[in-house]
Structure 1
Amino acid sequence: MENAAFDSSGEASKGESLAGRHPNPAAADGLELKRKVGLFSGVALIVGNMIGSGIFISPGGVLQRSGSVGLALVMWAACGLLAILGSLSYAELGTLIPKSGGEYSYLIDGLSPLHPFWGPLPAFLYSWISVLLLRPTTFAVGCLSCASYTVYPILTSLGFCLDADKEDLLIKITAILYIGLITALNCYSVDWTIRVQNVFTIAKLVAIIVLIGCGIYQLSTGGTQYLAQGFEGSTTEFGTLATAFYGGLWAYDGWNNLNFVTEEIKNPYVNLPRAIMIGIPLVTVCYLAVNVAYLTVLSPQALINSDAVAVEVGNYLLGPVAFFIPLAVAMSTFGGVLTGAFATGRLCFATAREGHMVDVLSYVHVESRIPTPALIFTAIIALILVASKKVTSLIDFFTFAVWIFYVLAMIVLLILRKTKPDARRPYRVPLFVPILTIVIGSYLVVAPIVTDPAIEYLYVLGVLFIGVLVYIPFVYYKCSLGFMGPITRLVQLILSVGPTLKPAAD
């Protein structure tokens, strides 16, 4: 059964489609996203999302799996190098395919022409995992972490002592409030979201600078006993090194977030590559310097055992102003979740615009041009996860699955070099960069399965298999959802949103 898509006035638009399918992108009443993100805001979006709570709370996982101080620092540098290699390849993809949605847009544009069925399938499966599980889970976990660093100091300062159940309930309620606040800010204004993001990015960089300053002071007074252990005890196990990589890469997660908002970047052909080349090396230097600073105060074992490394270092060195560190952790986490939600909404929007999610998720507000339905949809899933917390334990295993799609995106870059050799490429990455990234990424995917197989990897395959079962009828055969017509019209009337134009190909 067919249903007409409706414009913001409630009338049938020119782009009729099956319910749940994307309307004609060339419809005369289509809307476009506004370009609000400049170079500074682009750098802040990258840095703000990459630097969350992890580097402040417990970076000991990389050290534990590496086995030595020296190898741990090498792993942090190697993870940064991998993020830089990947982002340089994404800079070419982002300027060649200037669409929001990151990997999804590159997979759909690069692989769809190759085969009508198998071509779009990887893009759909990426969106299936990311939009419905991974990114909302990250959103939920980030808000829970931010809530913890808000609730604990307040309870301590007021002298309250709650039992575990009441404390857990209070943290959940606070996390729900954070989800609502972040979603409301993202839906209200891109300008205000960017301003808040910039402020929180500056705040977390100040905290980083304070910690690095503490490390420099300790080094100047001879605090090198733990760093002097060097590579003593380094692991040489193939699989353990891969899991150490995962620990570091989790802290670097977000290196590709600017590619999710390409359609909102001012002069993306210039600002996208520049922001990437500034932001990710900056984060890499910060991570290395902060880890050195930690090891001037804490022993390797103390670093591994600590759940709040930065707080311990602050208490040891900052005295009466040590309260600044937990405040910085809360601000850093909030800023990271804010930028993550900003990017996730654009991924959901881009997916729906291609017909891989229900049609209404591709609509934007008629005045602000913000993808409000996609942002609210992501928040609803995050709220469910905060209430249940049953899926959060699987996030590491699904992170491994995402690296499959990162590798595929690099392969798409090589394919486009062959299929579109004369296409406009404002930025062109050296060929060895995507090839090296493919090799390293493939190792990260295969090594943990070979050396330490776990049933959780079957869960990943199960979710991908369910995605294929959904893809066949609803995407490939374009089966309609008859009940979506009235829902779409109701959402349009409530949120004042309308269908969008797909950006023109160069």
Structure 2
Amino acid sequence: MAEKEARNHRRESQNGSTSHAKDKSSEKATVLHKNVGLMSGISLIVGTMIGSGIFISPKSVLLYSGAVGPCLLIWTACGVLATLGALCYAELGTMITKSGGEYPYLMEAFGSLLAYLYSWTTIMVLKPSSFAIITLSFAEYASAPFYPGCTPPTLVIKCLSAAAIVIIVIVNCLSVKLASYVQNFFTAAKLVIIIVIVAAGIVLLAQGNTENLTNAFEGSSASVGAIGLAFYNGLWAYDGWNQLNFITEELKDPFRNLPLAIIIGIPLVTVCYVLVNVAYFTVMTPTELLVSPAVAVTFGDRVLYPLSWIVPLFVVFSTFGSANGSCFTAGRLAYVSGREGHMVKILSYISLRRCTPSPALLFNGVLAIFYIIPADINTLINYFSFAQWAFYGLTALALIVMRFTRKKLDRPVKVPIVLAVLMVLVSCYLVLAPIIDKPELEYLYCTIFIFSGLLLYFPFVYWKVNWARSFMRPITMHLQLLMEVVPPEKNE
């Protein structure tokens, strides 16, 4: 009898341990997993940075800099600046290993209010507008072959852009690994076209096509505001250098892979960008480059005929891959912000089957579709850069502040503080110079929008008004059932 009871007790214990294991397994299904390795991290940085920028921005950088020499210098300086900024972010990312990009760093250094304003601005405007800009570029290049000799209709471009947004959001909602494979494939594709353009440029230089590179500084712009706008458009092409900080929680061995991916990825992109611009100038005069509707396509038509069709094809690959990377990281910021209570809770929920932040990804995609309606890429770039560089500067300032207020935090990567000081100064210049030189209403609208977030912050976040929770609870429940998502487990 005693033996029977012992056997029953052991059986119950085993059943309990099995049940406990199942509970543990279900817990794992409600957190984002570490699926991003070093190669995927480099692909995310390179793939997001090399997107539409190098095929759009050369015209704007040349326009505002005024000559070939300053244009190439600005492209190089933008690469150096992106590298310095990314090194500052490497210290922050290995010190505070949370996803969400600048959000957790601003939260740690300055508190809830500034972090909320960042998440409000970035989630509602910066990330979806960036997504929209890239997909509009994708649509322009994808539709161009069907309308030879003329500009594709605006409606076609917008519809194609919206279709790309829907496809990318679906891919990212289905699987983190699938999104990573897509990113790796399109990163390889865009490096192929970059190598083709650079190799063609080297051949042309060897043949003596250097007319446009002589007297390179003749006609340079001396305006402080114009140089600032040239940097805006150059840095737009480099945007993405901070993307890995948005997915720190999903990065394998972040203390090693975060700084290593930065050190490999950003200098690679810088070299590619400068050489691509040199290649452009071996074929086109500054005037021809400025009037070209699609710089890379014009280059292909003149140099690679009859294989010139490969340029728009690979540019389509490049912009699609960049849009995928932008979507991938944007969802993580909305997810973290919802988890901290700065956005509606449903944005922090995770797909039970897929382990992806699908509500956050869908929200970003819907907003991006709204942003394709204006279709004015230059206005969107200026709007994006003004606010983004204000937050870059504040994040660099956060690094300086935490050197004094968070001395006990472990810093596996520690950069010279002068780099952070330089980032703050450059950010101030990039924010203020264009406004002083040529004040425009878009800067005022951007500032008003940023601070309009306070109208929601105080009642819903700071004071935690009860009626708002009661109103959102049934909506959250129905959305949770519809999308099969669950709240994330708290990190131990």
Structure 2 segments unaligned to the other structure (5+ residues): 1-26
Give, in angstroms, the shift of residue 293 of structure 1: 0.6
**Aligned equivalent of 2:473:** 485
Which structure: larger Rg? 2
Cα distance in 2 for partners of 1:244, 1:359 equals 40
2:118 is aligned with 1:126: yes
Tell me what 1:418 maps to.
Answer: 404
Map Cα deviations across residues 75-122 of structure 1 (whole Å, 9 max, x no partner).
11111111011000000000111111001111112222xxxxxxx221
Contact 1:63–1:72 (CA under 8 A) maintained in structure 2: yes
Residue 194 of structure 1 pairs with residue 186 of structure 2:
no
How far does residue 479 in structure 1 lie from its aligned partner after superposition?
Answer: 1.8
**CA–CA separation in structure 2 for the residues paired with 1:81 and 1:432:** 14
User: Who is 1:427 aligned against?
Assistant: 413
2:341 corresponds in structure 1 to 355
Structure 1 residues 382-461: aligned runs within 5 Å: 382-387=368-373, 389=375, 393-461=379-447
State how far apart, in whole Å, the 2-side matches of 1:203 and 1:432 are. 37
Aligned to 2:461: 475
Instruction: Report how far residue 362 of structure 1 moved.
Output: 0.4
What residue is the counterpart of 1:300 in the other structure? 286
What TM-score do you get using the length of structure 2 for normalisation? 0.90
Q: Is the helix fraction higher in 1 or 2?
A: 2
RMSD of Structure 2 on Structure 1 (CA): 2.0
Aligned-pair distance for 1:379?
Answer: 1.1
How far off its partner does 1:56 sit?
2.3
Residue in 1 that maps onto 2:6: none
Q: Which amino acid aligns with 1:39?
A: L
Which whole-Å CA distance do the structure 2 matches of 1:355 and 1:391 have between them? Answer: 33
- Once the 2 structures are TM-superposed, how far is the Cα of residue 273 of structure 1 from its aligned partner? 0.5
Taking the aligned partners of 1:377 and 1:392, their CA distance within structure 2 comes to 24
- In structure 1, the residue corresponding to 2:488 is in which secondary structure? coil
Tell me how far 1:390 sits from its aligned partner: 8.0
Q: What is the Cα deviation at residue 392 of structure 1?
A: 8.0
What's 1:500 paired with?
488
The residue correspondences of 1:166-315 to structure 2 (distance < 5 A) are 167-315=153-301
Unaligned runs of 5+ in 1: 1-27, 113-119
> Partner letter of residue 344 of structure 1?
A
Contact 1:238–1:447 (8 Å) recurs in 2: yes
The number of residue pairs the alignment matches comes to: 465
Identity %: 48
Higher relative contact order (CA 8 A, sep 6+): 1
State the 1:151 CA deviation: 2.2
Aligned to 2:85: 86
Q: Which residue of 1 aligns with 2:100?
A: 101
CA shift, 1:234, in A, is 1.8
Give the secondary-structure state (helix, strand or coil) at the position aligned to 1:319: coil
**2-side partners of 1:230 and 1:385: how far apart?**
38
Shift of 1:29: 9.4
Whether 2:126 is the aligned partner of 1:140: answer: no
Contact residue 57 and residue 237 of structure 2 kept, 8 A? no
Partners in 2 of 1:289 and 1:272 — Cα distance? 26
SS at match of 2:278: helix
Q: Output the CA distance in 2 between the equivalents of 1:269 and 1:306.
A: 44
1:417–1:229 CA distance, 2 compared to 1 (3 A): same
